[in-house]
Structure 1
Amino acid sequence: MAPTAQHGQEVRQRLLAAAAELIPERGWTAVSTRVLADRAGVTPSVVHYHFSSIQDVLAEAAVTAMSQVLAATDELFTAAITPEAGVDAMLASVEQYDGTDPMSLLFTETYLAATRDEQLRERIATLVTDFRTRVTDWLTIHQVAEPAATAAVLAATIDGLLLHRSLVPESPALTTVLRRLVR
């Protein structure tokens, strides 16, 4: 890669990293071009050189971060030997998120922004659908009844759990209930 192309990629990555930090810190709507540029160490015009709008950079940063979290969860889940172990792995993959940590806040802010941005909603829906499909395929291999519906419930439960963690303590029976779901 030519030095100028490499530099451009580095700047773009700094903008995405800064956006991923700012979304949970300030909230989606409080991230301006100037704030993003300051955090990334560039001028505001550089933001618009790399992205058509502030919404585009925020969406790209959020969807990338969400994809990475889902990929890590997927990797742990599909490495499990039994459906019950898969549930345990899925729950373990989200233990690090307490509902108030930056990644939980990024998910929450992004979901809220998606209610007002059709393109963002579609991108997140694609992530969710792809994740559910992979879980469905894994559940099918392990002969779990109604694998597509079970995958949808598991995915929604994990999302709900993350949203609720900042509000109320987790039920100790959650693991038992979800394990029963996949038996």
Structure 2
Amino acid sequence: MAPTAKQGQEVRVRLMAAAVELIPERGWSAVSTRILAERAGVTPSVVHYHFSSVQDVLVEATIGAMRQVLTATDEVFTAATTPAAGIDALLASLEQYDGSDPTSLLFTETYLAATRDERLRSQIAGLVTDFRARVADWLTIHQVAEPAATAAVLAAAIDGLLLHRTFGPEDPALRTVLQRLVS
């Protein structure tokens, strides 16, 4: 990669990293060109050189962050030898998200922004569809009944669980209920 192309890519990465930090701190709608540029250590004009709008930076950054989190679950399921072990491993991997951590706040802000942005909603839908398909494939391998529907319910339950963590502790029986779902 030529030095200028490499530098341009590095600036894009810094802008997206800044967006991922700022959204949980300030909220989606409070991230402006000036604030984003300041956090990334560039001038405001550089933001618009690399992206057509601040919204484009936020969308690309959050979709990338969401993709990373969802892809990390592939390892969780791959390592699990039974559906129950998969649920245990998945819940263990989610313990780091308490509802007030930056990643939880990033997802919440992104979901909220998606209610007003069809392009963002469509991209999240693609991530969810892909995640469900991967989980359904794993469930199929483990001969779980109705793997696609089970994967959809499991994905929705996990999203709900993460959202509800903001409001208080979860029921200890949750693990048992989710394991029953895949038995």
Taking structure 1 as the reference length, what is the TM-score of the superposition? 0.98
> In structure 2, what is the equivalent of residue 44 of structure 1?
44
**SS at structure 2 position matched to 1:124:** helix
Unaligned runs of 5+ in 1: none
What letter is aligned with 1:149?
Answer: A
The runs of 5 or more residues in structure 2 that have no matched partner are: none
**Residue deviations 1:86-109, cap 9 Å, x none?**
111111111100000000000000
1:148 and 2:145 are equivalent in the alignment:
no
Q: Could you say which residue in structure 2 is the equivalent of 1:110?
A: 110
After TM superposition, the structure 1 = structure 2 runs for residues 24-43 of structure 1, keeping only pairs within 5 Å, are: 24-43=24-43
* Separation in structure 2 between the aligned mates of residue 115 and residue 51 of structure 1, nearest angstrom: 22
Alignment of 1:1-183 (within 5 A): 1-183=1-183
Question: 1:9 and 1:124 mapped to 2: Cα distance?
Answer: 24
TM-score of the pair, normalised by structure 2: 0.98
1:166 is paired with a residue of what secondary structure?
helix
- After TM superposition, which residue ranges in structure 1, 4 or more long, deviate above 2 angstroms? none
Deviation per residue, 1:52-72 (Å, 9 max, x gap): 110000001100000000011
CA offsets 1:74-126 (integer angstroms, 9 cap, x no match): 22122211010111111111110000000000000000000000000000000
CA distance in 2, matches of 1:7, 1:131: 33
Contact map agreement 1:136 1:150 (CA 8 A) in 2: yes
Give RMSD over aligned pairs: 0.6
Shift of 1:39: 0.3
Distance 1:60 1:89 in 2: 29
Q: Secondary structure at the match of 1:144?
A: coil
Identity of aligned residues (%): 80
Would the aligned equivalents of 1:63 and 1:123 in 2 still touch at CA under 8 Å? yes
